[in-house]
Chain A
Amino acid sequence: MFEARLVEGSLLKKVMESIKDLLNEASWDCSGNGMCLQAMDSSHVALVSLMLKSDGFENYRCDRSISLGINLASMSKILKCASNDDIITIRAEDDADAITFMFESPKQDRVSDYEMKLMNLDTEHLGIPDTEYACVIKMPSGEFSRICRDLSVLGDSVIICCTKDGVRFSAKGDLGNGNIKLAQSANVDKEEEAVVVDMREAVTLTFSLRYLNFFTKAAPLSSQVSLSMSEDVPLMVEYKINDKEGDSKGYVRYYLAPKIED
């Protein structure tokens, strides 16, 4: 039997919003550690790897590791039936062919439950090599969303150039070209407003803005985003999910293959 009760139900709603436009279907791999999901988009250009840790749930029971094959569009529609302040409980029997979602209002005066058929998905698992990245940029997530949206008016690719002075985002197209330079923050009192560039060596890479704009759908999950880059390896965009005390409840990570000179 798998049962997980999330008091902050809005977290699961936001997680669904962060993946539903990129992926059609995926398996939630549930184990004692938590709920994980890893899947590539249909073109194999981007990969999502997310985790909701078991200790982020009010209670969490997983008798046996199970893999729940889900049509994400359907799950997203059902989660839209939950209010932002609802408590969400997910339940599935071990040999289940269905998953149930229960939404409870804070005053427990309104309880709804929805059952959804599961899918048989072959759980192809990708090995993501641990990488020592040449550059890791930490910045406000809203700032990154703004940059990706603004530069999309110029072209379909962004060149990200990271040096010790800071990071520059550039785009060009028929309309013209544009550059956005972010300086390394000096002493910022509020950490989540800082731009921090941890650079081992300078890196310049080109990525599709279409995919980056899918990734920024995760911005409501975290006030900060980190971009990890090395020459000729996929970009890793990570939104950490922390609770109010700052303890990690999980993460949403996106990987994006670069565009290179043909």
Chain B
Amino acid sequence: TKVQKTLDTFFFFD
């Protein structure tokens, strides 16, 4: 099954 990733692993707080 496919798991929904979050953006936290791709975008970082400035």
Contact = CB atoms under 8 A, between A and B. Distances in A.
Between B1, B3, B5, B7, the greatest number of chain A beta carbons within 10 A of the residue's beta carbon is seen for: B7
Interface string B1-14: 11111111111111
B2 to A, nearest CB: 4
A45 B3 CA distance: 12
A7 interface: no
* A: contact size bracket: 20 to 34
B3 A255 contact: no
Nearest to B10: A234
A44 B7 contact: yes
A40 interface: yes
The B contact surface, by secondary structure, is: mixed
A46 B12 CA distance: 14
Given A127-B13, A128-B11, A129-B11, A262 B1 contact: yes
Interface string A24-62: 000000000000000010011111000000000000000
Interface in A232-262: 233-234, 255, 257-262
Contacts of B14: 125-127
B2 A257 contact: no
Interface string A102-145: 00000000000000000000001111110000000000000000
Contacts of B6: 43-45, 257
A157 interface: yes
A206 interface: yes
Interface of B: 1-14
Given A45-B6, A206-B2, A257-B6, 4 more contacts: A45-B5, A129-B11, A234-B11, A255-B11
